[in-house]
Structure 1
Amino acid sequence: MFAVSELLERINSHIAGLQFSRSPQGLYDPITYVLSMGGKRIRPVLMLMAYNLYKDDVARIFDVATGIEVYHNYTLLHDDLMDKADRRRGKETVHKVWGDNAAILSGDAMLVLAYQFMAKCPEEHLKEVMDVFSLTALEICEGQQLDMEFERRKDVKEEEYLEMIRLKTSVLLAASLKIGALLGGASPEDANRLYDFGMNLGVAFQLKDDFLDVYGDPAVFGKNIGGDILCNKKTYMLIKAFEHAADSQRGELDGWVDAESFNPTEKIAAVTNLYNQIGVRKLCEEKMQEYCERAAGSLAAVCVSDEKKAGLKELMESLMHRNV
């Protein structure tokens, strides 16, 4: 079994070695730029880990793992454009460097490239892999649309939010694991258990992001705390605050959410104080734990030795105990 650090190093090296020889250069420069930003590479590493549960020749699926990472970065490129975000991983976003039109077009090219990389899987697995990948890509679009629609609503329910993050975040983690398992020769049952593991892990992962945006340490988190509060993002935290607030607290929350002019520092402090009063921190921690336990149960049911599954279990714990 390969260590997570070794798989990360090897897939990073593979992606760094990519060369897009086609022209025009103006289409491919933004793609190279996006992929050079690095990141956690969680999705390709998960795919390689799932494959490695059954087979050792992980290099055989480096192209497929690259496809999942290219696809993920394509979604980030378009997310940054839709959100008008200026920075990603400490660097200027593509639309800030090359403009909106170039970001759209280079993103579209990344989607095509992702499919080309994914199609480099062994022919006997081509249909099932592409079926999983295509459905996942469609579901992510559905999740993004829900996220956009939630921006205009103040009545988003917990179950709606959890479904949105399942579609927007979790399905790609789940698909990475399932595709890796299928390519490794796992049984359909094991492939589905690993999919469920990734699905539950993904929900817990996003809830952790919500949590860190309010309660993280800015020096460690790598970005300013309270960004979700400032843009009234319908996170689990805000949804549960509205659900459990007393009348006076609800009135104060409404005031901050509806305010068109405000001092950012004051708004973050006031809303965080309301979260503390209402008990939102504990509610979010409990929900994270619930999904972690579901993920652990799905992983435990996978029919390989505990020794082989130890890496996935450790990765889950590290993601949930992270501060960034």
Structure 2
Amino acid sequence: MLSFEYILKAIEEAIHQLRFDDSPQSLFDPIVYTLSEGGKRLRPAFVLMACNLYRDDIECAMSSALGVEMFHNFTLLHDDLMDEAKKRRNQPTVHVKWNRNTAVLSGDAMLIVAYRLIGQTPSSSLKPVLDLFTQTALEICEGQQFDMEFERRDDVTEEEYMEMIRLKTAVLLACSLKMGALIGGASVHDAEVLYRFGIHIGLAFQLQDDMLDVYGDTSTFGKNIGGDILCDKKTFLSVLMYQLATDEQKTRIAHCRKENASAYTANEKISVITSIYDELKLRERTQSRIKYHYDLAWSELARLSVNQEKCRELLRVCSLLIDRAK
């Protein structure tokens, strides 16, 4: 089995070889900028790692992997625009560096390029891969819409929130794994097992992001700490906070809402909400839920028809994901 590091290097080399020489260059400069910012490259790596479970040559899945990475960065670009985020991976977001209209149009171009790359999937698996990718892209839009609607609600349930992040985040990781398996020639059973594995990894991954937004280190997290709090964005912690808060805590929360923004500075608002999280022990509850989904993910891998030794590298990557929150 190829190592995660070898696969990441292959992905970076393939991204570097992508060319955006058409005119106007101003349309493509933000795409090059976004891709050059780096990132974990986890989704394209999952495509190639899943393919590698069933065949030694992973080059047949590289175009699809690049398509997934292109699509993922497109969603981040538009997410940042909708969230009015100033920073991504410790760099200015596209709408800050250029402007909002450029972010919209260059994002649209990234989506089209993603489909062009996915379209280069080997013909033997093109239709199921394209169907999977299209369904996933639509589900991510559904998740984003739920996310925006939840910002206006204080009664979002834990179940609703988990479904939202399944759609917005987990399905693309699951799609990546299933896509690679299909290209590699896996059985329908194994492809579905890897999809479920990806769902649980994706849920845990997003829950970690929720926690790191509050308790992370901005130098390693790549985003401003407390950004979700400042935007009144629903996270696993905030959903539980609204469910569990005492009357006194609810009064403090109300004073921090956007409509009462003048009551606190940004740092004060972050401090007040974080203190309520601490009082309710929401960090510990989130960590417990993260572990729950990682454990379910690992149990799924045991169902694969391949030798479990082949799954060792995938398990190691999952452990790296856990460690990023420590």
Q: TM class by shorter-chain length?
A: over 0.9
2:213 is equivalent to residue 190 of structure 1: no
2:309 corresponds to? 307
- Higher mean C-alpha displacement, 293-302 vs 221-230: 221-230
- The answer as to whether partners of 1:11 and 1:44 remain within 8 angstroms in 2 is yes
User: What is the aligned-residue RMSD (CA, Å)?
Assistant: 1.5
Sequence identity of aligned pairs in percent? 51
1:178 corresponds to? 178
1:270 corresponds to? 272
Compared with structure 1, are the counterparts of its residues 222 and 76 closer, same or farther at alpha carbon in structure 2 (3 Å cutoff)? Answer: closer
CA distance in 2, matches of 1:212, 1:97: 25
Gaps of 5+ in 2: none
Query: Could you report, residue by residue, the CA deviation over 1:262-287 in whole angstroms, capped at 9, with x for unpaired residues?
Result: 12222222211111111212211111
- The answer as to whether partners of 1:221 and 1:323 remain within 8 angstroms in 2 is no
1:130-149 aligned within 5 A: 130-149=130-149
Compared with structure 1, are the counterparts of its residues 92 and 221 closer, same or farther at alpha carbon in structure 2 (3 Å cutoff)? Answer: closer
- Higher mean C-alpha displacement, 272-281 vs 219-228: 219-228
**SS of match in other structure, 2:40:** coil
- Higher mean C-alpha displacement, 47-56 vs 96-105: 96-105
Supply the AA of the counterpart residue of 2:183: L
**SS of match in other structure, 2:20:** coil
CA distance in 2, matches of 1:108, 1:224: 26
Supply the AA of the counterpart residue of 1:277: E
Query: Could you report, residue by residue, the CA deviation over 1:74-124 in whole angstroms, capped at 9, with x for unpaired residues?
Result: 111111211222222222222223322222111111111111100111111
TM normalised by structure 2 equals: 0.95
Supply the AA of the counterpart residue of 1:260: A
**SS of match in other structure, 1:259:** helix
How big is the shift at 1:22?
2.5
TM normalised by structure 1 equals: 0.96
**SS of match in other structure, 1:154:** coil
Supply the AA of the counterpart residue of 2:123: E
How big is the shift at 1:23?
2.1
Query: Could you report, residue by residue, the CA deviation over 1:126-165 in whole angstroms, capped at 9, with x for unpaired residues?
Result: 1100000000000000011111111111111111110110
How big is the shift at 1:14?
0.5
The count of corresponding residues between Structure 1 and Structure 2 is 324
- Higher mean C-alpha displacement, 13-22 vs 141-150: 13-22
1:79-90 aligned within 5 A: 79-90=79-90
- The answer as to whether partners of 2:208 and 2:325 remain within 8 angstroms in 1 is no
Compared with structure 1, are the counterparts of its residues 219 and 68 closer, same or farther at alpha carbon in structure 2 (3 Å cutoff)? Answer: closer
- The answer as to whether partners of 1:68 and 1:114 remain within 8 angstroms in 2 is yes
- The answer as to whether partners of 1:220 and 1:323 remain within 8 angstroms in 2 is no
1:7-26 aligned within 5 A: 7-26=7-26
CA distance in 1, matches of 2:150, 2:43: 26
CA distance in 1, matches of 2:296, 2:320: 16
1:99-178 aligned within 5 A: 99-178=99-178
